[in-house]
Amino acid sequence: MRTLRVLLVMVLLVVTAGCAATGTPADTGRYSLTLVTQHAHVVEDGQTTVGPLVLAGGSLTVSEGAEHRGDVLTLAGRMVVQGQVSGDVVALGGEVSLAAGAVVTGDVLQVDGSLDVDPLARVQGRVVTAADAAQVWGEPASGPTLTQQLVAALVGALVAGAFAWGLTRVATRPVRRVARAAEGYPVVSGALGTLVLLTAPALLVSMAFTLVLLPLAVVLLLPLAGLTAYGLVCVGQAVGQRLLHRRAPRLRASEQAAVGTAGLVLVLALLGMLPLVGLLSLFTAGAVGTGAALLTGLGTHGYAPPAGLEDDEVLRQGRSG
């Protein structure tokens, strides 16, 4: 949640910079975003502050007779309104207090943190607390029905199967190499994939923090997702081959991949209905596929453990080439 908040700040900064660059006019012709991270600040009677305001720590009080023109977003810290806020107040965290006599011309929305609205405070828009925030954001009160989930799983399985069929038609040998590594060395593949899937998000978030590298982080997210999808297709190919090579020996590798991947996705989707088990199953399959893809250089070569442990039964069995 905290990472999300800081990322939101970064996004706001980028948006503000974008507004300034494109010349979007603000009320007073100035372009600014106020970010409060520490200490106690007070906007005194008669003073006016302008522009979006983000409270990420410390405290800010808009005193009686003072005005803030612009939206307010609180991530942490304490925001006290005794005067007027000409805009929306959104609480993602921290404490927001609207005292008696306070005026907010827009909406007051609480997603997280605490919100205290005095009965004598006046909110011209809507006041939405965390309890009913989901409805305001347009989400249904309850999740999808079982039938909807099953249909979604079937559609997902069909799409995944079609993707696997196409990919294996184009790159039959690489997919089979990765599939052999996943099948022959599932533990090693899973360990490598786990390491990648645990550390890569941290790397991408760190890059996003720098702002300068934010576009690069977004660009790198795509190959990571592609790598995991490719790995899942290869695991699907291994599953398809294992299930079908005796029952339907005439099927091509692409057809095995299609059936195997569709079945794998369907099973994962069904397991996904169970708490924790579904997530662990998806992570395990993704980790094994990702690790196998990396071990084989995306299928450009087979995987064999380094020399020096030739007498190791575990490493010797199922060696892929």
Footprint of other proteins (CB under 8 A): 2-3, 6, 37-38, 56-58, 75-77, 185, 187-188, 191-192, 194-195, 198-199, 202-203, 205-206, 209-210, 295, 305-309, 311-312, 314-315
Nearer residue to other proteins within complex by CB, 189 or 228: 189
Please, what is the minimum distance in Å from the beta carbon of residue 188 to other proteins? 4
Nearer residue to other proteins within complex by CB, 6 or 133: 6
Sheet holding 84-86, edge to edge: 48-50, 67-69, 84-86, 103-104, 122-123
Please, what is the minimum distance in Å from the beta carbon of residue 207 to other proteins? 9
Please, what is the minimum distance in Å from the beta carbon of residue 35 to other proteins? 9
- Dihedral class, residue 95 (left if φ above 0, else alpha if ψ from -120 to 50, else beta): beta
Please, what is the minimum distance in Å from the beta carbon of residue 144 to other proteins? 32
Nearer residue to other proteins within complex by CB, 218 or 314: 314
Please, what is the minimum distance in Å from the beta carbon of residue 205 to other proteins? 8
Q: Which two tokens stand for residue 238?
A: 């291994």
Nearer residue to other proteins within complex by CB, 179 or 287: 287
Nearer residue to other proteins within complex by CB, 162 or 211: 211
C-alpha to C-alpha distance for 5 and 72, rounded to whole angstroms: 14
